[in-house]
Structure 1
Amino acid sequence: MLNAWSRDGVGLIRGADNAALQEALWIDLFCPEPEEVAAVEALGLPVPTHEDMEEIEISNRLYTQNGTEVMTAMLSGRMPDRSQVSGPVSFVLTEDRLLTVRYHAPQPFETFGPRAGQSSVGTESVEMLFLGLIEEIIARQADLLEAVGRVLDAVARDVYEDEEREEGDLREMLRELGRQGEAMSRVRLGLLSVERVLGFFLARRSTAKGHVKGAVKARQRDIDALEVHADFLASRLGLITDTTLGMIDLDQSATVRIVSVMSVIFLPPTLIASLYGMNFEFMPELDEPWGYPVAVAAMVGSAVLTWAFFRWQRML
């Protein structure tokens, strides 16, 4: 899919034909077809392949090609099957165009175009357009962290305050905590890669105007603040996970304790029954009419005494 966005006053408008592609300020390629790649390359824009975008070396993520800057960040987004993944997104920046290439669907690329005019940096230049898109991406990472925080609040309330929870509920809470940990890991990876992209972008503009540097520094401060918040959420996640595991251990220990006590209660009767089941030739009690009731009484009495002892020790 190819989306071509042209300037419309202070905002952007999406075009629908090749003429719009010629005038586009921002071209967004989503899972591009070969003919779409060819059309963009005809404008003199290099289009990195999916394999190149997935390379983890810095030299493949941040570089210049014939004066064109190619920067790749790892961002969280949806796949066609609606699963959430972290995937590469490339930003190709020239003096008059911004090209983005992606193979999954981070939300900022769907929301930024219609509201680009509301960006704090505007759309006066390609640089400002790029920084506005980065601003939208950072705002999305903040939203994802807020969502993680809300889930942690709910899970913490269930773990600390719910007196009627069951072990199965705690297991589901553990799975939810794992899902939120994965989501937070994707956010932190996105923040780290965007921070590298901004550093590369700023290093290429040592003589840039003050408002460009100021906008970059503002984005970097936002990232620093979100990284601190992510650290805080990570510590909460670890604490809640440890507490949940502790609750599961306590429930399991209570079950094991009951089973152990019941085993000890029936140990004396089992011993008595074993003695009279040895079938020795000389066992005078076997020939007495009172032998059977006395043996049964001894087994019941020993079980009751053992149960009374554990009750007295508050182990039951």
Structure 2
Amino acid sequence: MITLYDAQGTVLPTGFDGRGLPSGVVLIDLLRPDASEIAYVERVTGLTLPSSHRMSEVEVSSRLAMQRNALQVTSPIVYRTNDIAVNTSPVGFLLSARLLITIRFVELKAFTDFLEQKPFRIGDPSQAPMELFLGLVETIVDRMADAMEQIGVDLDRMSQHIFQPDVDIDVATKPVHAERRLSRSLKTIGRNGDHTSHARDSLLGLGRLVAYVGTHAEERLSANAKNRLETLKQDIASLNDYQNRLADKVQFLLDSTLGFINIEQNRLFKLLTIASVVGVPPTFVVGLYGMNFKNMPEYDWAYGYEWGWVLIVISVVVPMVWLKWRGWF
């Protein structure tokens, strides 16, 4: 889909009838463009649009380039695939003195939020393409900051859940519950770790993109645009620091959860060991008196039955007292 905007945010008609761009176009937004739309834009602008494959490449030369006095920059942007999962998709910008072209392959909330603002907040009409570019990048960074703040909230909540004493479950009586709880914790930590990893990819791409534009478009930047670029650099740097802290916390919670899993397993193995140790002596006593030899005086003794039970109880109690003294339970 192709959408043309003027400096006020008005959607202009798209002409595929051989004519050029409508008068006043400053933004061409391409969402999942087909071959005819790509051919039209290339014809009316004289620029070559990068393919989705080229935009997905990780080399800096594929993401940052100059093309006929237009800056061609690309960065992966985080987006939600559903309520809990995220992914990244490449977004391309072609920025010239009179036109901004955006290329994307998924619906991005940042673009929707920005493009729905009517009219566009443009201070200097002669700087419209640059101001639109900066506005879009600022909106993307703002949404990433909100998403990372939510990750931080989720990790804080998970930390309280993991280390809070009243959620500790006695594995001796409810091992299945403990297993489910720890499994849920691992999934939550893994999901937030995945979010953090995608955020890092986006921040790395955006940081390079902003630095490249600031260097190669310096002569066309107004004082206000330079200030906004500098602010973006600072915001991205601070988000990178915050992302590093989140990554460290994810690793800490992952190690802690795996440690608790190891503790729960050791508890269960200890329980089984105690049961086997305590169960061996009475089994021996029962087996001894179940051999049915003729010369066993206890068989003819009036208190033989009670004697057998006393031996069984003693054989259970003595190992338990010894294990308790050793601190096994």
TM-score with structure 1 length normalisation? Answer: 0.87
One-letter identity of the residue aligned with 1:88:
P
Q: What's the % identity of the aligned pairs?
A: 26
* 1:26 aligned partner: 27
Give the whole-Å Cα distance in 2 for the aligned partners of 1:274 and 1:157: 52
- C-alpha contact 1:75 1:190 (8 A) present in aligned 2: yes
Moved more, 43-52 or 190-199: 43-52
Question: Counterparts of 1:121 and 1:5 in 2: how far apart (Å)?
Answer: 16
Pair 1:59 & 2:56 matched = no
What TM-score, normalized by structure 2, do the two folds share?
0.83
Q: Trace 1:71-220 onto structure 2 (pairs within 5 A).
A: 71-79=73-81, 84-115=86-117, 124-161=127-164, 163-165=166-168, 166-167=177-178, 168-208=180-220, 209-220=222-233
CA distance in 1, matches of 2:275, 2:118: 70
Contact 1:121/1:131 (CA < 8 Å) preserved in 2?
Answer: no
State the Cα distance separating 1:231 from its structure 2 match.
Answer: 1.6
In the alignment, is the contact (CA less than 8 A) between 1:63 and 1:70 conserved in 2? yes
Deviation at 1:65, TM superposition (A): 2.0
1:250 aligns to 2:251 (yes or no): no
CA shift for structure 1 position 148: 0.3
Distance, in Å, in 2 between the alignment partners of 1:122 and 1:226 is: 29
Letter in 2 for 1:289: D
Per mean C-alpha deviation after superposition, the further-off stretch among 118-127 and 64-73 is 118-127
Aligned to 2:10: 13
Displacement of 1:60 in angstroms is 1.2
* C-alpha distance 154-87 of structure 1, shift in aligned 2 (>3 A): same
Between the aligned partners of 2:325 and 2:258, the Cα distance in structure 1 is: 31
Tell me by how many angstroms 1:135 deviates.
Answer: 0.9
Offset at residue 162 of structure 1 (A): 5.4
CA contact (8 A) 1:122 1:129 kept: no
Aligned length: 311
Retained in 1: the 8 A contact 2:122–2:132?
Answer: no
Q: Structure 1 regions of 5+ residues with no counterpart?
A: none
Q: Does 1:302 align with 2:315?
A: yes
One of 48, 51, 56 as aligned partner of 2:50: 48
Residues 170, 120 of structure 1: CA spacing in aligned structure 2 closer, same or farther, 3 A cutoff?
farther
Aligned to 2:4: 4
- Rate the CA distance shift 1:116–1:88 in 2: closer, same or farther, 3 A: farther
* Contact residue 68 and residue 94 of structure 1 kept, 8 A: yes
**Structure 2: how far apart are the matches of 1:197 and 1:130?**
11
